[in-house]
Amino acid sequence: MTTTHPTPSRFTTSLPSPLGPLTLVATDAALVSVEFDGRGPLCGAVPRRTPLLAQACAEVAAYFGGRLQVFDLPLAPAGTGFQQEVWAALRSIPCGEVRSYAEIAHQIGRPAAVRAVGAANGRNPISIVVPCHRVVGSDGSLTGYGGGLDRKRWLLAHERGGHALS
């Protein structure tokens, strides 16, 4: 006899932001996705603002309002073990600071995995909360960002006290 485990129910809500609408998806226990422009793995998510999504919306709004630098949300991004390591390293980058892909690779004990770190960074499903925008090229240049380089530039400027889309 095969035992099946039900997939946790997923709930979704949207939130306006200075960078356009965000779509947040969560289970009852954890935030699983924050995406720009309504792009995101809705996967049967039910539109409902649960207590966890209300907390997530409040924290994201506080971040954009300059009143929050560290998120206090339970997270459950779906990914491989390696991706989970990279995403945990991203969460350790202080607000207003950046790290290179090579620095993240060294931090997780895989100095030769710079490209794999870049790929994992690009697959981060929880934008802003898991701050993949804080990762830059080794020379400090802004490199790819799923939300677009204008948004990455804005987020970094916001965290340093400025807010300019250019």
Helix/strand/coil for 95: coil
- CA distances 101 to 31, 38, 142, Å, are 25, 27, 11
Compute the chain's Rg from CA coordinates.
Answer: 16
Pick the catalytic residue: 43, 57, 95, 132?
132
Residue 43 annotated among the catalytic residues of the structure: no
- A 10 A CB-CB count for 43 gives 12
List residues with catalytic annotation: 132
